[in-house]
Amino acid sequence: MLVTYAQAINAAMKEEMQRDKKVVVFGEDVAQFGGIFGLTRGLLDEFGSDRVKNTPVSEDSIAGVGVGSAIGGLRPCIEIMYSDFLLVAFNEIFQSAAKWRYLHGPEYKVPLVIRSAAGSALGAGAEHSGCVESLFLHSPGLTIITPSTAYDAKGLLKSAIRSDNPVLFFEQKQLYQVKEEIPDEEYLIPVGVADVKRKGTDVTVIAIGLMVKRSLEAAEELKNEGIDVEVIDPRTIAPLDKDTVYESIRKTHRIVVVEETNKTGGLGAEFAAMFQEELYDELDGPVVRVAALDVPLPYNVKYELASIPDVKRIVSAVKSLF
């Protein structure tokens, strides 16, 4: 069936709520209104107010109740409207959600999913357009997922809801209305498994979220110049599927990381350190990072577009390795 990225996420929640009565959804405006982006639309009508609830505008409380209800036996799939607002709930996520399985022993589980809209949104401004994945990468105990397609979003969200570990599920706002064919029948995608979106032999490009689509476009341009690009979508940032990534690097010996996070302290910084520490002899050049500029994302759309990587910047970065 042909669905949008947003519809795939909605379908994943609906299917998991039908399957397991312990799955609950709550967040700001998720009930009658169906969420700011409409991703929870229809859930209240089908599952009722005991399982789909609006919350006050208090991200710290939303996350805290999420942790408590998960430990108490439910499987909450909660929504923090914009990923920037995860920082309001940073203590509950960083200290409680991520650490309590370790602090309290093996009998404890924290089957919590925190969904949040991430990335640029063509004029939403610096406080509503952030990519904060790298800030939470420093927190052992969290699973971090960043799907780039409707197919991946549905399969990974279903797996995340069934996981006994806390999951941050980042959804790219510019992908919400992108349509794709997905199977009619139920399917799951295992957490922690990367996907090779395009096979190639000359250079490996690891792309995150929205940057997967742009990297694939860049790969087609580079093909015309005789450069064969392999594009890998990690899908899960933590834990990273090193096996898939390292197999590709050992084949191409060149690596570019493309992300929408700003460059300093971003995902590419950690990946570059990891690759050069563990695969130094396999590299024919430095790990090249393509990322957003180190500025708060501008409200002006022209400057916003200039701040995040585009196809031209990705092409230029790849060519620099040759």
Predicted confidence at residue 279, as pLDDT, reads 96
Predicted confidence at residue 242, as pLDDT, reads 98
User: Across residues 121-132, what is the average pLDDT?
Assistant: 92
* Domain limits, the chain: 2-181, 195-320
Please name the residues in contact with 6: beta carbons below 8 A apart, sequence gap of 6 or more.
37, 38, 39, 176, 177
Q: Are 254 and 264 in contact (CB under 8 A)?
A: no
Lowest mean pLDDT among 45-49, 119-123, 199-203: 119-123
User: Across residues 125-132, what is the average pLDDT?
Assistant: 93
Predicted confidence at residue 106, as pLDDT, reads 81
Confidence check: pLDDT of 188 > 90: yes
Convert the pLDDT of each residue in 10-22 to its tens digit: 999 999 999 999 9
Confidence check: pLDDT of 77 > 90: yes
Predicted confidence at residue 305, as pLDDT, reads 94
Convert the pLDDT of each residue in 202-242 to its tens digit: 999 999 999 999 999 999 999 999 999 999 999 999 999 99
Confidence check: pLDDT of 56 > 90: yes
Confidence check: pLDDT of 108 > 90: no
Q: Are 234 and 206 in contact (CB under 8 A)?
A: yes
Please name the residues in contact with 195: beta carbons below 8 A apart, sequence gap of 6 or more.
152, 232, 233, 235
Q: Which of 104, 128, 138, 253 is catalytic?
A: 128
Considering the chain, what is the average pLDDT of its residues? 97
**Do 2-181 and 195-320 show the same overall fold?**
yes
Distances (CA, A) of 54 to 1, 11, 27, 81, 267: 30, 19, 5, 12, 33
Helix (H, G, I), strand (E, B) or coil at 80: strand
How far from each other are the two terminal CA atoms of the chain, in whole angstroms?
42
Predicted confidence at residue 131, as pLDDT, reads 94
Distances (CA, A) of 76 to 61, 90, 162, 234, 300: 14, 18, 10, 25, 37
Q: What is the CATH number of domain 2-181?
A: 3.40.50.970
User: Across residues 130-148, what is the average pLDDT?
Assistant: 96
Convert the pLDDT of each residue in 195-204 to its tens digit: 999 999 999 9
Convert the pLDDT of each residue in 260-308 to its tens digit: 999 999 999 999 999 999 999 999 999 999 999 999 999 999 999 999 9
Confidence check: pLDDT of 104 > 90: no
Q: Is domain 195-320 classified as CATH 3.40.50.920?
A: yes
* pTM, rounded to two decimals: 0.97
Helix (H, G, I), strand (E, B) or coil at 238: strand
Predicted confidence at residue 152, as pLDDT, reads 98
Confidence check: pLDDT of 105 > 90: no
Task: Verify whether residue 253 is a known catalytic residue.
Answer: no
User: What's the rounded Cα separation, in Å, for the pair 172 and 119?
Assistant: 6
Share of the chain above pLDDT 90, in %: 97
Share of the chain above pLDDT 70, in %: 100
Confidence check: pLDDT of 121 > 90: no
- Cross-strand pairs, 262: 292
User: What's the rounded Cα separation, in Å, for the pair 289 and 314?
Assistant: 9
Q: Are 64 and 32 in contact (CB under 8 A)?
A: no
